[in-house]
């Protein structure tokens, strides 16, 4: 099982409620990815958002920069909002990162849980589902064919068109991010693409039917079972002392839940939700190394995971706390998980 970290580039807010300058957060992310690489973590993912509480609207820029200061870690998006992107431009960008990084680039496509990118890039929200379906089809076709001939509804056709450069080995690793809809699971299975499930609420067990649905779809379309890959993305944060880090992180985490929640009509986030989430049957992995090891191994056994992604910067914790959390994950948690899975 691969072990890595995803981020959205959440901005840190000061005591007056002002977010830090985007440039400062971007530089911090590069330092954080460098530490992930040094501690031997398998992958890093950075997501796309177009809001003041996030610093990264274009993941490719961060990944290209990170490729120059890292050696081994895979570098991917978490996610690119494919519905409001151009698959041609997206493929070309990630193919370039693949070359710069010596074949370490990954692209994770998603529909996006935020909608700001649609009016920003000139798309209609009512085309939400159709856009994703058409653009995923085009992205997969670009990855598999060169030159390409293609026709769809939302852009002009392509006829015998070269898409350059080609990724290293003429193949780009493409994942699909799924929030919890059966349609997304079937779509990924149709193309034989690996899936990562975002478990950001409730008991993880409730995702079991979707995991099984994906396995059946993947097999139904005739793809090699030996190449089957599936992962989870879960909010996580680590410290030396479980109670201390949980108390320190709660105001940061709850503030972001409320910033997002106020735009969606959610009730105020409560400490009770946080503590339930941190429990054995919860969606949060926030605490010390021993708790994290136990919960990650439980999830691997539950779902048969090939990838676990600790989403680590919700709410914009300080750079120093993030660096400590990364260090604990890379040096204390990951080795123990790997040893347990070998046994």
Q: Is it the case that residue 255 has pLDDT exceeding 80?
A: yes
| 35's tokens | 């530490």
Give the per-residue pLDDT at 302.
97
| 339's tokens | 């040893």
Whole-angstrom Cα distance, residue 35 to residue 332? Answer: 14
- If one looks up domain 2-342 in CATH, what number appears? 3.20.20.30
Nearest to 174 by CA among 78, 62, 41, 68: 78
Q: Is it the case that residue 342 has pLDDT exceeding 90?
A: yes
Digit-coded pLDDT (tens) for 152-180: 999 999 999 999 999 999 999 999 999 88
Digit-coded pLDDT (tens) for 91-146: 999 999 999 999 999 999 999 889 999 999 999 999 999 999 999 999 999 999 99
The tally of CA atoms less than 13 A away on the side-chain side of residue 215 is 13
The tally of CA atoms less than 13 A away on the side-chain side of residue 37 is 20
Whole-angstrom Cα distance, residue 206 to residue 203? Answer: 6
Whole-angstrom Cα distance, residue 146 to residue 91? Answer: 12
With bands split at pLDDT 50, 70 and 90, how would you rate the model's confidence at 54? very high
Give the per-residue pLDDT at 320.
97
Rounded CA Rg of the chain: 19
| 253's tokens | 């985490």
Other CB atoms within a 10 A radius of the CB of residue 128 amount to: 16
- Tokens 């979707």 correspond to 210
């Amino acid at each position: 099982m691969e072990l890595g970290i995803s981020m959205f580039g959440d901005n840190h807010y000061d005591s007056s409620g002002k977010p830090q300058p985007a440039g400062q957060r971007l530089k911090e992310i590069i330092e954080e990815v460098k530490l992930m690489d040094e501690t031997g973590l398998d992958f890093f993912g950075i997501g796309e958002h177009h809001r003041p509480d996030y610093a990264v609207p274009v993941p490719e820029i961060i990944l290209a920069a990170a490729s120059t200061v890292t050696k081994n870690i895979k570098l991917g998006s978490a996610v690119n909002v494919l519905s409001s992107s151009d698959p041609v431009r997206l493929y070309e960008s990630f193919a370039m990162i693949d070359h710069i990084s010596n074949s370490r680039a990954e692209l994770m496509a998603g529909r996006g849980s935020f909608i700001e990118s649609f009016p920003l890039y000139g798309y209609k929200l009512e085309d939400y589902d159709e856009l994703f379906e058409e653009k995923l089809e085009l992205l997969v076709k670009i990855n598999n064919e060169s030159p390409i001939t293609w026709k769809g509804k939302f852009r002009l056709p392509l006829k015998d068109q070269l898409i350059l450069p080609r990724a290293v080995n003429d193949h780009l690793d493409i994942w699909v991010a799924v929030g919890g809809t059966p349609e997304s699971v079937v779509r990924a299975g149709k193309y034989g693409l690996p899936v990562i499930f975002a478990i950001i609420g409730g008991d993880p067990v409730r995702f079991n039917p979707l995991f099984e649905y994906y396995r059946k779809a993947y097999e139904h379309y005739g793809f090699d079972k030996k190449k089957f890959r599936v992962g989870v993305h879960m909010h996580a944060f680590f410290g030396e002392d479980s109670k201390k880090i949980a108390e320190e992180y709660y105001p940061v985490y709850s503030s972001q839940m409320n910033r997002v929640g106020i735009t969606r009509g959610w009730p105020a986030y409560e400490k009770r939700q946080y503590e339930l989430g941190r429990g054995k049957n919860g969606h949060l992995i926030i605490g010390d190394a021993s708790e994290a090891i136990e919960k990650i191994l439980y999830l691997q056994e539950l779902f048969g995971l090939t990838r676990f992604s600790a989403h680590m910067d919700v709410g914009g914790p300080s750079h120093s706390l993030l660096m400590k959390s990364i260090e604990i994950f890379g040096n204390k948690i990951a080795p123990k998980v790997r040893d347990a899975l070998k046994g």
